[in-house]
Amino acid sequence: MYTYFEKIPLSEKITFYAKSLNMPQFDAPRHFHPEYELMCVINSSGKRFVGDNMAQYEAGDLVLIGPDLPHYWHNDEPRKSNVEAIVVQFRNDFPGNSFLEKLEMQELRRMLDRSQRGIYFSENVARKIIPMLENILILKGFDRVMVLLSILNQLSLDKEYELLSSAGFVPENNLYDCEKINQIHQYIIKNYKDQIKIDEAAAIVNMTKSAFCHYFKKRTRKNFSRFVNEMRVGHASKLLVETNNSISEICFQSGFRNLSNFNRRFKEVNSLSPQEYRQQFRQEFIIPNKYFS
Protein backbone atom coordinates (compact mmCIF):
# COMPACT_ATOMS: atom_id res chain seq x y z
CA MET A 1 0.00 0.00 0.00
CA TYR A 2 1.35 3.43 -0.92
CA THR A 3 1.98 5.92 1.87
CA TYR A 4 1.63 9.56 0.88
CA PHE A 5 3.65 12.45 2.26
CA GLU A 6 1.31 15.20 3.47
CA LYS A 7 2.53 18.79 3.67
CA ILE A 8 0.92 20.49 6.68
CA PRO A 9 0.44 24.27 6.21
CA LEU A 10 2.65 25.29 9.14
CA SER A 11 5.33 27.98 8.93
CA GLU A 12 8.11 28.60 11.45
CA LYS A 13 5.94 31.26 13.10
CA ILE A 14 2.80 29.16 13.51
CA THR A 15 2.72 26.78 16.49
CA PHE A 16 -0.05 24.47 15.35
CA TYR A 17 -2.93 23.95 12.96
CA ALA A 18 -6.45 23.07 14.12
CA LYS A 19 -9.55 22.48 12.04
CA SER A 20 -13.01 20.99 12.18
CA LEU A 21 -13.87 18.33 9.60
CA ASN A 22 -17.39 17.92 8.26
CA MET A 23 -17.56 15.79 5.12
CA PRO A 24 -19.40 12.81 3.64
CA GLN A 25 -16.44 10.53 4.41
CA PHE A 26 -12.78 10.54 5.36
CA ASP A 27 -11.00 11.06 2.06
CA ALA A 28 -7.31 11.05 3.01
CA PRO A 29 -5.41 7.88 1.99
CA ARG A 30 -2.67 6.32 4.09
CA HIS A 31 -0.24 9.15 4.72
CA PHE A 32 2.44 10.55 7.03
CA HIS A 33 3.91 13.89 8.00
CA PRO A 34 6.64 15.13 10.39
CA GLU A 35 4.10 16.83 12.66
CA TYR A 36 2.21 15.33 15.60
CA GLU A 37 -1.50 14.85 15.00
CA LEU A 38 -4.32 14.68 17.55
CA MET A 39 -7.47 13.29 15.95
CA CYS A 40 -10.83 13.28 17.70
CA VAL A 41 -13.83 11.72 15.95
CA ILE A 42 -17.09 13.44 16.89
CA ASN A 43 -19.46 11.56 14.59
CA SER A 44 -18.44 8.52 12.57
CA SER A 45 -17.57 4.85 12.86
CA GLY A 46 -15.35 2.55 10.88
CA LYS A 47 -11.78 1.28 10.88
CA ARG A 48 -8.69 3.13 12.04
CA PHE A 49 -5.23 2.27 10.66
CA VAL A 50 -2.13 3.43 12.57
CA GLY A 51 1.20 1.90 11.59
CA ASP A 52 0.54 -1.85 11.52
CA ASN A 53 -2.51 -1.57 13.80
CA MET A 54 -6.09 -1.87 12.55
CA ALA A 55 -8.99 -1.31 14.94
CA GLN A 56 -12.63 -0.31 14.97
CA TYR A 57 -13.39 3.26 15.97
CA GLU A 58 -16.59 4.99 17.11
CA ALA A 59 -17.65 8.53 17.97
CA GLY A 60 -15.44 9.84 20.77
CA ASP A 61 -12.33 8.12 19.42
CA LEU A 62 -9.25 10.14 20.44
CA VAL A 63 -5.79 9.28 19.10
CA LEU A 64 -2.37 10.97 19.12
CA ILE A 65 -0.14 10.16 16.13
CA GLY A 66 3.62 10.72 16.37
CA PRO A 67 5.81 12.17 13.59
CA ASP A 68 6.14 10.12 10.38
CA LEU A 69 3.77 7.37 11.58
CA PRO A 70 1.48 6.28 8.69
CA HIS A 71 -2.24 6.51 9.43
CA TYR A 72 -5.69 6.86 7.98
CA TRP A 73 -9.36 6.50 8.91
CA HIS A 74 -11.97 4.65 6.85
CA ASN A 75 -15.59 5.21 7.79
CA ASP A 76 -18.38 2.66 7.40
CA GLU A 77 -20.63 2.80 4.35
CA PRO A 78 -23.28 3.94 3.86
CA ARG A 79 -23.63 6.88 6.26
CA LYS A 80 -26.79 8.82 6.93
CA SER A 81 -24.84 11.83 8.24
CA ASN A 82 -21.49 13.46 7.60
CA VAL A 83 -18.23 12.52 9.24
CA GLU A 84 -17.40 15.07 11.95
CA ALA A 85 -13.99 15.33 13.57
CA ILE A 86 -11.50 17.78 15.04
CA VAL A 87 -7.83 17.49 14.10
CA VAL A 88 -4.89 19.35 15.65
CA GLN A 89 -1.46 19.12 14.04
CA PHE A 90 1.56 20.63 15.76
CA ARG A 91 5.23 20.90 14.93
CA ASN A 92 7.63 18.21 16.16
CA ASP A 93 9.61 20.89 18.03
CA PHE A 94 6.60 21.99 20.09
CA PRO A 95 6.71 23.11 22.87
CA GLY A 96 10.52 23.18 22.65
CA ASN A 97 13.19 20.60 23.48
CA SER A 98 14.65 22.61 26.37
CA PHE A 99 11.17 23.08 27.81
CA LEU A 100 10.52 19.34 27.68
CA GLU A 101 13.75 18.72 29.61
CA LYS A 102 12.27 20.37 32.70
CA LEU A 103 11.27 18.10 35.57
CA GLU A 104 7.66 19.27 35.43
CA MET A 105 7.41 18.19 31.81
CA GLN A 106 8.48 14.56 32.26
CA GLU A 107 5.02 13.07 31.82
CA LEU A 108 4.38 15.15 28.72
CA ARG A 109 7.71 14.17 27.20
CA ARG A 110 7.08 10.48 27.88
CA MET A 111 3.70 10.71 26.20
CA LEU A 112 5.16 12.37 23.12
CA ASP A 113 7.77 9.62 22.96
CA ARG A 114 5.05 6.96 23.20
CA SER A 115 3.13 8.59 20.37
CA GLN A 116 5.74 7.21 17.96
CA ARG A 117 3.53 4.10 18.08
CA GLY A 118 0.22 5.99 18.20
CA ILE A 119 -1.81 6.38 21.40
CA TYR A 120 -5.51 5.63 21.90
CA PHE A 121 -6.89 7.46 24.94
CA SER A 122 -9.57 6.25 27.34
CA GLU A 123 -13.22 7.30 26.99
CA ASN A 124 -13.14 9.18 30.30
CA VAL A 125 -10.24 11.35 29.15
CA ALA A 126 -11.76 11.84 25.69
CA ARG A 127 -14.95 13.23 27.23
CA LYS A 128 -12.91 15.87 29.07
CA ILE A 129 -10.83 16.74 26.02
CA ILE A 130 -13.61 17.19 23.43
CA PRO A 131 -14.93 20.52 24.88
CA MET A 132 -11.35 21.79 25.03
CA LEU A 133 -10.80 20.89 21.38
CA GLU A 134 -14.03 22.66 20.43
CA ASN A 135 -12.77 25.70 22.34
CA ILE A 136 -9.40 25.71 20.62
CA LEU A 137 -11.12 26.19 17.25
CA ILE A 138 -12.37 29.64 18.23
CA LEU A 139 -9.50 30.93 20.36
CA LYS A 140 -6.68 33.12 19.09
CA GLY A 141 -3.06 33.75 19.95
CA PHE A 142 -1.70 32.99 23.42
CA ASP A 143 -4.97 31.55 24.79
CA ARG A 144 -5.01 29.02 21.97
CA VAL A 145 -1.50 27.80 22.78
CA MET A 146 -2.31 27.54 26.48
CA VAL A 147 -5.34 25.36 25.77
CA LEU A 148 -3.23 23.04 23.61
CA LEU A 149 -0.69 22.68 26.43
CA SER A 150 -3.52 21.97 28.85
CA ILE A 151 -4.91 19.31 26.50
CA LEU A 152 -1.52 17.63 26.19
CA ASN A 153 -1.09 17.71 29.96
CA GLN A 154 -4.47 16.04 30.49
CA LEU A 155 -3.61 13.37 27.94
CA SER A 156 -0.24 12.69 29.58
CA LEU A 157 -2.05 11.85 32.85
CA ASP A 158 -4.24 9.17 31.27
CA LYS A 159 -3.26 5.82 32.82
CA GLU A 160 -5.63 3.77 30.65
CA TYR A 161 -4.13 4.63 27.28
CA GLU A 162 -3.43 1.99 24.65
CA LEU A 163 -0.44 1.89 22.30
CA LEU A 164 -1.51 1.05 18.77
CA SER A 165 1.34 0.13 16.42
CA SER A 166 3.65 -2.72 17.40
CA ALA A 167 7.06 -1.97 18.94
CA GLY A 168 8.84 -3.57 15.99
CA PHE A 169 6.98 -1.64 13.29
CA VAL A 170 9.31 0.35 11.03
CA PRO A 171 7.40 2.74 8.75
CA GLU A 172 8.32 2.34 5.10
CA ASN A 173 8.47 6.11 4.84
CA ASN A 174 11.42 6.16 7.24
CA LEU A 175 13.49 4.06 4.88
CA TYR A 176 14.74 4.57 1.30
CA ASP A 177 11.54 6.03 -0.08
CA CYS A 178 11.38 8.76 2.54
CA GLU A 179 15.03 9.57 1.86
CA LYS A 180 14.21 10.30 -1.77
CA ILE A 181 11.35 12.62 -0.79
CA ASN A 182 13.65 14.38 1.68
CA GLN A 183 16.32 14.88 -0.99
CA ILE A 184 13.76 16.46 -3.30
CA HIS A 185 12.39 18.56 -0.47
CA GLN A 186 15.85 19.87 0.42
CA TYR A 187 16.52 20.74 -3.24
CA ILE A 188 13.32 22.80 -3.31
CA ILE A 189 14.14 24.54 -0.01
CA LYS A 190 17.59 25.56 -1.29
CA ASN A 191 16.38 26.79 -4.67
CA TYR A 192 12.78 28.01 -4.35
CA LYS A 193 13.85 31.65 -4.71
CA ASP A 194 15.41 30.86 -8.09
CA GLN A 195 14.31 28.90 -11.13
CA ILE A 196 13.69 25.28 -10.19
CA LYS A 197 14.19 22.75 -12.95
CA ILE A 198 12.32 19.49 -12.82
CA ASP A 199 15.16 17.78 -14.72
CA GLU A 200 17.57 18.66 -11.90
CA ALA A 201 15.17 17.37 -9.25
CA ALA A 202 14.77 14.11 -11.17
CA ALA A 203 18.53 13.72 -11.49
CA ILE A 204 18.98 14.04 -7.73
CA VAL A 205 17.05 10.79 -7.22
CA ASN A 206 18.38 9.16 -10.42
CA MET A 207 15.08 9.19 -12.32
CA THR A 208 14.00 10.20 -15.77
CA LYS A 209 11.74 13.23 -15.94
CA SER A 210 8.62 11.18 -16.74
CA ALA A 211 9.35 8.59 -14.01
CA PHE A 212 10.00 11.38 -11.53
CA CYS A 213 6.73 13.18 -12.31
CA HIS A 214 4.79 9.94 -11.84
CA TYR A 215 6.64 9.09 -8.63
CA PHE A 216 6.27 12.54 -7.10
CA LYS A 217 2.53 12.74 -7.82
CA LYS A 218 2.04 9.22 -6.45
CA ARG A 219 3.82 9.96 -3.19
CA THR A 220 2.60 13.50 -2.45
CA ARG A 221 -0.74 13.62 -4.33
CA LYS A 222 0.47 16.87 -5.92
CA ASN A 223 2.37 17.59 -9.08
CA PHE A 224 5.85 19.01 -8.73
CA SER A 225 5.02 22.57 -9.77
CA ARG A 226 2.16 22.83 -7.27
CA PHE A 227 4.40 21.58 -4.48
CA VAL A 228 7.06 24.17 -5.35
CA ASN A 229 4.44 26.93 -5.48
CA GLU A 230 3.23 25.96 -2.01
CA MET A 231 6.77 26.18 -0.67
CA ARG A 232 7.10 29.65 -2.21
CA VAL A 233 3.75 30.74 -0.81
CA GLY A 234 4.85 29.52 2.62
CA HIS A 235 7.93 31.75 2.45
CA ALA A 236 5.83 34.65 1.21
CA SER A 237 3.43 34.20 4.15
CA LYS A 238 6.36 34.47 6.54
CA LEU A 239 7.55 37.70 4.89
CA LEU A 240 4.05 39.17 4.95
CA VAL A 241 3.89 38.62 8.71
CA GLU A 242 7.46 39.51 9.66
CA THR A 243 8.25 42.47 7.37
CA ASN A 244 6.76 45.58 5.87
CA ASN A 245 8.11 44.72 2.43
CA SER A 246 5.74 45.54 -0.40
CA ILE A 247 3.67 42.80 -2.00
CA SER A 248 5.69 43.10 -5.22
CA GLU A 249 8.98 42.78 -3.32
CA ILE A 250 7.75 39.68 -1.52
CA CYS A 251 6.56 38.24 -4.81
CA PHE A 252 10.07 38.22 -6.28
CA GLN A 253 11.79 37.36 -2.98
CA SER A 254 9.70 34.18 -2.90
CA GLY A 255 10.65 33.01 -6.36
CA PHE A 256 7.63 34.14 -8.38
CA ARG A 257 8.28 35.83 -11.72
CA ASN A 258 5.22 38.08 -11.95
CA LEU A 259 2.73 39.63 -9.53
CA SER A 260 -0.46 38.30 -11.08
CA ASN A 261 0.75 34.70 -10.88
CA PHE A 262 1.89 35.28 -7.29
CA ASN A 263 -1.52 36.65 -6.26
CA ARG A 264 -3.29 33.75 -7.94
CA ARG A 265 -1.11 31.02 -6.40
CA PHE A 266 -1.19 32.65 -2.97
CA LYS A 267 -4.98 32.72 -2.95
CA GLU A 268 -5.15 29.08 -4.09
CA VAL A 269 -3.20 28.05 -0.99
CA ASN A 270 -4.49 30.47 1.66
CA SER A 271 -7.93 31.44 0.28
CA LEU A 272 -6.89 35.07 0.81
CA SER A 273 -4.96 37.58 -1.25
CA PRO A 274 -1.50 38.53 0.11
CA GLN A 275 -2.84 41.87 1.30
CA GLU A 276 -5.85 40.26 3.02
CA TYR A 277 -3.55 37.69 4.65
CA ARG A 278 -1.29 40.40 6.07
CA GLN A 279 -4.19 42.47 7.36
CA GLN A 280 -5.99 39.52 8.93
CA PHE A 281 -2.89 38.18 10.67
CA ARG A 282 -2.03 41.55 12.21
CA GLN A 283 -5.61 42.17 13.29
CA GLU A 284 -6.02 38.74 14.90
CA PHE A 285 -2.73 38.83 16.79
CA ILE A 286 -2.75 42.61 17.37
CA ILE A 287 0.87 43.12 16.38
CA PRO A 288 1.84 46.81 16.07
CA ASN A 289 3.54 47.88 12.87
CA LYS A 290 6.51 49.24 14.84
CA TYR A 291 7.74 45.66 15.34
CA PHE A 292 8.15 45.16 11.59
CA SER A 293 11.07 46.46 9.57
- With bands split at pLDDT 50, 70 and 90, how would you rate the model's confidence at 167? low
Q: For the residues 245-274, what does the mean pLDDT come to? A: 90
- With bands split at pLDDT 50, 70 and 90, how would you rate the model's confidence at 166? confident
Q: Which residue has the higher pLDDT, 143 or 168?
A: 143
Write down the CATH number for the domain with range 4-163.
2.60.120.280
Residue 185 has pLDDT above 80, yes or no: no
Q: For the residues 26-32, what does the mean pLDDT come to? A: 84
pLDDT tens column, 113-163:
899 889 999 999 999 999 999 999 998 888 988 999 999 999 999 999 999
- With bands split at pLDDT 50, 70 and 90, how would you rate the model's confidence at 286? very low
Residue 172 has pLDDT above 50, yes or no: yes
* Predicted pLDDT of residue 293: 36
* Predicted pLDDT of residue 55: 86
- Highest mean pLDDT: which of 31-45, 164-178, 191-205? 31-45
Question: If you write DSSP's letter for every residue of the chain in order, what string do you get?
Answer: ---EE------TT--EEEEEEEESS----SEE-SSEEEEEEEE--EEEEETTEEEEE-TT-EEEE-TT--EEEEE-SS-SS-EEEEEEEE-TT-S-HHHHTSGGGHHHHHHHHHGGG-EEPPHHHHHHHHHHHHHHTT--HHHHHHHHHHHHHHHHT-SS-EE-S-TT---GGGSHHHHHHHHHHHHHHHHTTS---HHHHHHHTT--HHHHHHHHHHHHSS-HHHHHHHHHHHHHHHHHHH----HHHHHHHTT-SSHHHHHHHHHHHHSS-HHHHHHHHHHHHT--GGG--
Q: For the residues 233-261, what does the mean pLDDT come to? A: 87
What pTM was estimated for this model as a whole?
0.65
- Supply the Cα-derived Rg of the chain in whole angstroms: 20
* Predicted pLDDT of residue 120: 97
- Highest mean pLDDT: which of 32-41, 179-188, 268-277? 32-41
Architecture of domain 175-285: Orthogonal Bundle (1.10)
Residue 174 has pLDDT above 50, yes or no: no
Domain range list for the chain? 4-163, 175-285
Q: Which residue has the higher pLDDT, 39 or 53?
A: 39
Measured on CA atoms in the order 226, 191, 247, 287, is the torsion positive or negative?
positive
Residue 223 has pLDDT above 90, yes or no: no
Q: For the residues 259-283, what does the mean pLDDT come to? A: 83
Q: Which residue has the higher pLDDT, 96 or 119?
A: 119
pLDDT tens column, 190-204:
888 888 889 999 999
